[in-house]
Amino acid sequence: MPQRAILVFLDGVGIGEGDLAFNPFVVAHLPRIQALLGGRLPIAEHLDADRRIVSERAVLVAADATLGVEGLPQSGTGQTTLLTGRNGAAEYGRHFGPWVPTPLRPMLAAENLLRRAADAGRTAAFANAYPLSGAPADPRIFRRPAGPMLAAQSVGALTRGAAELAEGRAVASSITNERWREHLGSDVPEVTPEEAARTLARIAADADVTLFAHYDTDYTGHRGAMDGAVAALERVDAFVGALADALPADALLVISSDHGNVEDVRGGHTIHPVPVLAVGTRREQLMNVRSLMDVALAMLQALGIDGRGLSSDNGG
Q: Which is nearer to Zn ion, 9 or 283 (CB)?
A: 9
Q: Measure the CA–CA gap between 54 and 287, rounded to whole angstroms.
A: 9
Q: Which is nearer to Zn ion, 218 or 237 (CB)?
A: 218
Contacts (CB under 5 A) with Zn ion, residues 133-152: none
Q: Measure the CA–CA gap between 109 and 83, rounded to whole angstroms.
A: 10
Q: Which is nearer to Zn ion, 91 or 218 (CB)?
A: 218
Q: Which is nearer to Zn ion, 195 or 218 (CB)?
A: 218
Total of chain residues touching Zn ion, rule CB under 5 A:
1
Q: How far is the CB of 223 from Zn ion (least distance, A)?
A: 11
Helix axes 75-84, 147-154, angle to 10 degrees: 40
Q: Measure the CA–CA gap between 74 and 298, rounded to whole angstroms.
A: 22
Binding mask 213-252 for Zn ion (x = CB under 5 A): -----x----------------------------------
Secondary structure of the chain: what % helix, strand, coil (to 5)?
40, 15, 45
Q: Measure the CA–CA gap between 81 and 258, rounded to whole angstroms.
A: 8
On whether the CB atoms of residues 59 and 283 are closer than 8 A, the answer is yes
Q: How far is the CB of 294 from Zn ion (least distance, A)?
A: 22
Q: How far is the CB of 219 from Zn ion (least distance, A)?
A: 8
Q: Which is nearer to Zn ion, 269 or 282 (CB)?
A: 269
Residue with the closest Cβ to Zn ion?
A: 218
Query: Where are any strands of DSSP class E within the chain?
Result: 4-10, 52-54, 58-63, 124-126, 209-214, 251-256, 274-280
Q: How far is the CB of 231 from Zn ion (least distance, A)?
A: 18
Binding mask 201-220 for Zn ion (x = CB under 5 A): -----------------x--
Q: Which is nearer to Zn ion, 66 or 177 (CB)?
A: 66
Q: How far is the CB of 221 from Zn ion (least distance, A)?
A: 7
Q: Measure the CA–CA gap between 261 and 237, rounded to whole angstroms.
A: 17
Q: How far is the CB of 94 from Zn ion (least distance, A)?
A: 15
Q: How far is the CB of 260 from Zn ion (least distance, A)?
A: 10
User: Does residue 263 touch Zn ion according to CB under 5 A?
Assistant: no
CA-closest candidate to residue 4, choices 307, 265, 300 = 300
Q: Which is nearer to Zn ion, 96 or 212 (CB)?
A: 96
Q: Measure the CA–CA gap between 130 and 101, rounded to whole angstroms.
A: 21
Q: Measure the CA–CA gap between 244 and 240, rounded to whole angstroms.
A: 6
Residues interacting with Zn ion, by CB under 5 A?
Answer: 218
